[in-house]
């Protein structure tokens, strides 16, 4: 149940984000794009709060999830969602509340006997916090949607006596490639990537009425229906407060959203790769120079996996560059990085002036061999070619931690 509280409530947050996304995307596609976009932004400026009932169905290969509930929003970024969630063998009543500083998540079993509550102090300056808060910001969501999708066309139909603009969109090539890489790395079915999105925009009401997500073969992967939308109804601040019932155990998950203040996460002995030989590899850099695991024999090596589209990676790489420069003349140490998209990586490296070696893993064979399923991820390899440490995510003190590891391993 505690694992589910994060995943299921996350679906509710995504549904809320999709509400804004649909409005933004539809505005961008209608005839005179810039004029309509300006009109939608003007509408956003006038919104102080809104309420909407919605239902969402997500269809997976072997199961389906149905969510139904109500969402409330109050500018500049407070949110409340109350969701009934049903899937095979599971039913719950979930509540998510963000009061402007703390995110509360409650999962209550169908019979009301089992209640789990988690809270997170959201640090808006951390990468994770920014991603979280983006879901509550219409303008940020608009920017995100326009970065991910290309608009194919729009048509207008009269549905139930109301003019509805039907907006068809498709993943842009870069987003599609990134999703393919992630899905492949997880061993999942690439045919179920949501390549197509169809938004039904209620022109008269100025809100999204429906969202369909489809695969390349037009299989419906999910749909969301919005109804009973109320704008500027004067929602009270109390709507966005939450107090756990007396005696309820509360899990504090703040560390997950404040990575700037956390120590680097080390999987250590819990990672099955630590203490074992590092996977063998042979890759080339931008200029075609070959690097392989055999060349690391007798040396301490640091290998960082990253991608140009990853914000935490962008924050970490300056520290990797400092580390590289510090050990550039040390024959006992090698600092390498690995990425997959050569063209984008070349542009990214040139723009930032980095000089560390960048090896290209185009078919993601090495990435998968190291078991990388999230980035950035740093591996420290000892002189015997065994993995000594694994660090996950961005942390401001990663350079100091890696320096200590290097110096310790040099003495062994």
Residue 262 has pLDDT above 70, yes or no: no
* Secondary structure, 3-state, the chain: CHHHHHHHHHHHHHHHHHHHHHHHHHHHHCCCHHHHHHHHHHHHHHCCEEEEEEEEEEECCCCEEEEEEEEEEECCCEEEEEEEEEECCEEEEEEEEECCCEEEEEEEECCCCCEEEEEEECCCCCHHHHHHHHCCCHHHHHHHHHHHEEEEEEEEEEECCEEEEEEEEEECHHHHHHHHHHHHHCCCCHHHCCCEEEEEEECCCCEEEEEEEECCCCCEEEEEEEEEEEECCCCCHHHHCCCCCCCCCEEECHHHHCHHHCCCEECHHHCCCCCCECCCCEEECCCCCEEEHHHHCCCEEEEEECCCCCHHHHHHHHHHHHHHHHCCCCCCEEEEEEECCHHHHHHHHHHHCCCCCEEECCCCHHHHHCCCCCCCEEEEECCCCEEEEEEECCCCCHHHHHHHHHHHHHCC
Q: How far are the Cα atoms of 13, 88, 114, 232, 253 from residue 5, in angstroms, in the given order?
A: 12, 16, 12, 31, 12
Provide the pLDDT for residue 124: 58
Instruction: Specify the CATH class of 263-410 in words.
Output: alpha beta
**Using 50, 70 and 90 to split pLDDT, how confident is the model at 33?**
low
Length of the chain in residues, anyone? 412
- 150-175 pLDDT, tens digit each: 888 777 788 888 888 777 889 989 88
State yes or no: pLDDT of 91 exceeds 50.
yes
Give me the residue spans of the domains in the chain.
Answer: 2-259, 263-410
Per-residue pLDDT band for 302 (boundaries 50, 70, 90) equals very high
Least confident of 89-93, 277-281, 397-401: 89-93
Q: Do domains 2-259 and 263-410 have the same CATH topology?
A: no
Confidence of residue 117 (pLDDT cuts 50, 70, 90): confident
Is the pLDDT assigned to residue 30 strictly greater than 60?
no
Is residue 191 within 8 Å of residue 168, measured between CB atoms? Answer: no
CA nearest to 362, candidates 378, 379, 339: 339
- The per-residue pLDDT for 268 is 41
User: Residue 309 pLDDT more than 90?
Assistant: no
- pLDDT band for position 123 (50/70/90)? low
The token pair that represents 328 in the structure block: 């550039």
Least confident window among 33-37, 64-68, 194-198, 327-331: 33-37
Between residues 151 and 277, the one the model is more confident about: 277
Q: Between 33-46 and 2-29, two packed helices, what is the crossing angle to 10 degrees?
A: 130
**54-59 mean pLDDT:** 90
Lowest-confidence segment of 14-18, 347-351, 366-370 by average pLDDT: 14-18
Q: Look at residue 344 in the predicted model and tell me its pLDDT.
A: 87
Nearest to 303 by CA among 352, 396, 369: 369
The tens digit of pLDDT for each residue in 361-406 reads: 988 889 888 888 778 889 999 999 999 988 887 778 889 889 999 9
Number of C-beta neighbours around residue 213 at 10 A: 18
pLDDT at residue 317 tops 90: yes
Backbone angles phi, psi at 117, to 5 degrees: -130, 135
Beta carbons of 105 and 9 less than 8 angstroms apart: yes
Topology (CATH level 3) of domain 2-259? outer membrane lipoprotein receptor (LolB), chain A (2.50.20)
The pLDDT score that the predictor gives to residue 34 is: 67
Q: Which of 201-205, 208-212, 371-375 shows the lowest per-residue confidence on average (mean pLDDT)? A: 201-205
18-22, 188-192, 215-219 — most confident range: 215-219
Q: How far apart are the first and last CA of the chain?
A: 44
* Sign of the CA dihedral with 338 first, then 270, 106, and 118 last: negative
pLDDT tens per residue across span 227-256: 898 888 999 999 999 999 888 888 776 544
Buried/exposed code over 172-204 (b: 16+ C-beta within 10 A; e: otherwise): eeebbebbebbeebeeeeeebbbbbbbbbbbee
Taking residues 54-76, report their average pLDDT. 87
Say if CB 145 and CB 30 are below 8 A apart: no
Q: Average per-residue pLDDT in the chain?
A: 79
**Comparing 110-114, 168-172, 261-265, 305-309, which segment has the lowest mean pLDDT?**
261-265
């Amino acid at each position: 149940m505690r694992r589910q509280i994060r995943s299921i409530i996350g679906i509710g947050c995504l549904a809320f984000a999709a509400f804004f996304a649909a409005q933004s995307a539809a505005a961008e596609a209608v005839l005179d794009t810039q004029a309509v976009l300006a009109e939608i932004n003007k509408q956003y400026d006038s919104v102080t709060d809104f309420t909407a009932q919605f239902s969402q169905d997500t269809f997976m290969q072997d199961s389906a999830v149905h969510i139904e509930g109500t969402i409330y929003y109050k500018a500049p970024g407070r949110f409340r969602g109350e969701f009934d969630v049903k899937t095979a063998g599971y039913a719950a009543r979930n509540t998510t509340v963000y009061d402007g500083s703390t995110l509360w998540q409650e999962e209550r079993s169908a019979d009301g006997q089992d209640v789990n509550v988690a809270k997170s102090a959201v640090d808006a300056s951390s990468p994770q916090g920014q991603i979280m808060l983006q879901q509550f910001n219409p303008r940020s969501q608009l920017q995100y949607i326009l970065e991910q999708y290309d608009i194919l066309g729009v048509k207008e139909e009269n549905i139930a006596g109301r003019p509805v603009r039907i907006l068809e969109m498709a993943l842009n090539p870069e987003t599609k490639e990134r999703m393919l890489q992630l899905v492949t790395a997880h061993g999942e079915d690439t045919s179920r990537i949501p390549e197509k999105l169809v938004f039904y925009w209620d022109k008269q009401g100025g809100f999204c009425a429906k969202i369909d997500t489809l695969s390349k073969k037009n299989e419906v992967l999910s749909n969301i229906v919005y109804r009973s939308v109320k704008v500027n109804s004067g929602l009270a601040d109390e709507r966005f407060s939450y107090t756990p019932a007396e005696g309820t155990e509360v899990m504090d998950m703040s560390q997950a959203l404040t990575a700037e203040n956390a120590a680097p996460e080390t999987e250590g002995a819990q990672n099955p790769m630590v203490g074992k030989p590092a996977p063998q590899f042979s890759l080339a850099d931008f200029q075609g120079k070959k690097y392989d695991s055999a060349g690391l024999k007798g040396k301490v090596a640091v290998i960082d996996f990253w991608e140009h589209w990853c914000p935490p990676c962008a924050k970490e790489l300056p520290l990797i560059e400092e580390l590289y420069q510090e050990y550039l003349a040390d024959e006992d140490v090698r600092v390498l990085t690995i990425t997959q998209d050569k063209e984008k990586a070349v542009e990214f490296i040139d723009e930032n002036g980095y000089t560390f070696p960048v090896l290209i893993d185009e078919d993601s064979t090495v990435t998968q061999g190291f078991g990388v399923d999230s980035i950035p991820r740093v591996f420290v390899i000892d002189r015997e070619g065994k993995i000594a440490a694994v660090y996950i995510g961005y942390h401001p003190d990663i350079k100091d931690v890696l320096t200590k590891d290097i110096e310790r391993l040099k003495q062994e």
